Amino acid sequence: MGLLIPIRSLSPDSSNYPAGIHKGHPAGLPAIDPDLLPDNIKWNTTIFGVLGSMVIWQAQAKPLLSIPIPIIQSSIIVTASEAKTASPGLVCPVPVIVPATALATVSDPERTVLHDDAPPTDTEVTTEANSDPVIDQSWLQNDDNQEAVTTTTWKAMTFTPATNHTIRGVRLALYGSSVGSITVSIRATSGGLPTGGDLCSGPLDGSQLNGTFDGKVYDISLGVGTALTAGTVYAIVVRTGSGTLNWRSSAAGYDRGNKCSSTNSGGSWTTDATRELLFQEFGDNSLDVPATPSPTAVGDGLYIGNSTPFDYVDVWVNQAGVGTYTITWKYYNGVSWLPLTLSSDGDRSNSWKRPGRHTVFFNRPVDWAITSILTYALYWVKAEVTAYTSQATQPILGRVWIGAY
In order along the chain (405 residues), what is the average pLDDT of each group of 10 residues? Answer: 60 63 64 69 69 54 50 45 49 53 68 91 90 85 94 97 91 91 96 97 85 81 89 97 95 96 97 95 72 93 96 86 94 96 86 84 96 96 96 88 90
Burial status of residue 208 (CB atoms within 10 A of its CB: 0-12, 13-18, 19 or more): middle
pLDDT of residue 87: 52
- Distance separating alpha carbons of residues 336 and 364, to the nearest angstrom: 16
How crowded is the C-beta side of 268, counted as CA atoms within 13 Å?
1
pLDDT of residue 349: 85
Domains and CATH numbers, the chain: 104-131+288-403 (2.60.120), 135-285 (2.60.120)
Tell me: the pLDDT tens digits for 165-197? 999 889 899 999 899 999 999 999 999 999 999
- Distance separating alpha carbons of residues 292 and 273, to the nearest angstrom: 45
pLDDT of residue 100: 44
How crowded is the C-beta side of 352, counted as CA atoms within 13 Å?
32
Amino acid code (one letter) for 87:
S
Q: What is the 3-state secondary structure (H, E, C) of 172-233?
A: EEEECCCCCEEEEEEEEEECCEEEEEEEEEEEEEHHHCCCCCCCCEEEEEEEEEEEECCCCC
Tell me: the pLDDT tens digits for 16-40? 667 666 666 666 666 667 677 766 6
- Distance separating alpha carbons of residues 116 and 291, to the nearest angstrom: 11
pLDDT of residue 82: 43
Q: What is the CA 127 to chain-centroid distance, rounded?
A: 17
